[in-house]
Amino acid sequence: MAGAAEPPGRAAEYLQELTRIVAAQQGLLARRRRRIEELERQVARLSRENAGLLERHRRHLAACARRADRGPGPGLGPQPLGAVPELGSRLDK
């Protein structure tokens, strides 16, 4: 850093350079904060979507268990997922 014998102009240059460095660092921190907020929103959205999918899967398994309890009837073989009301709308997407 500038010593006591440095001319005032040189000290001012050091100060300006430090000011530029601090401003650049603040800009980088702001960008990182925005990115973190964006990623947190994405995680929240994916968590909600995952919870919905888990609930649909649970309902599908319950429907399968109910069908299995009834036993195979005439024409009641394995059905495609689209035939299950809980999953039909999901497959259309």
Specify the range with the lowest mean pLDDT, choosing from 6-15, 20-29, 35-44, 54-63.
6-15
- Percent share of the chain, pLDDT over 90: 62
Mean pLDDT over residues 67-87, rounded? Answer: 64
pLDDT for residue 4 is more than 50: yes
Per-residue pLDDT, 80: 62
The DSSP result for the chain, as a single string, is ---TTS-HHHHHHHHHHHHHHHHHHHHHHHHHHHHHHHHHHHHHHHHHHHHHHHHHHHHHHHHHHHHHHH---TT-----GGGSHHHHHHHH-
Give first-to-last CA distance, the chain, whole Å: 63
Contact call for residues 86 and 63 (beta carbons, < 8 A): yes
Report pLDDT for 68: 86
- State the pTM of this model: 0.56
